[in-house]
Amino acid sequence: MIQFYSESLPAGGRNLLDSPASYILIDLVPTQSPSVESSQTKLPLDNCDISKVSDETLTALFDTAPIIHSYQGTHIVRLSQTLVLKGGLSARPCEASIVKLVSTEAGSAIVVPKVHRALNIETEMSSLDASA
């Protein structure tokens, strides 16, 4: 099973992986293309309302959008100047739930990105893993 969730980047459109308040705890330096960082780069969902984008479209974009980080089967792709999508075999829906919980805690000083959606997508690979 592959889990996806999309989120808004912190204020100012900074890269989520460069944000000190980032909830993605990765010890590796992200592999980024300088062209993706440019505000002039046209990204798949620039100027789109994320609430109107279908789950199927998000799933397709996961395979085609610029990758800003990849590690052991989990990828983070940039969908727009302010949105990223994380997915892969080690992405867990509980990550999205924890981020939502932290963002709603009254008086929390922890800045986290907004989670727009979490999806569970059954894949051929996960079906094979389950039968083993």
Could you read off the pLDDT tens digit of each residue along the chain, which spans 132 residues? 445 555 555 554 444 343 322 223 222 233 344 445 556 678 898 888 888 988 888 888 888 989 998 888 888 888 888 888 888 877 877 888 888 888 888 677 887 788 888 887 765 544 444 444
Q: Are 42 and 27 in contact (CB under 8 A)?
A: no
Predicted model pTM = 0.65
Q: Are 55 and 107 in contact (CB under 8 A)?
A: no
Query: What is the b/e burial string over 91-113, where b = at least 16 CB atoms within 10 angstroms of the residue's CB?
Result: beeebbeebeeeeeeeeeeeebb
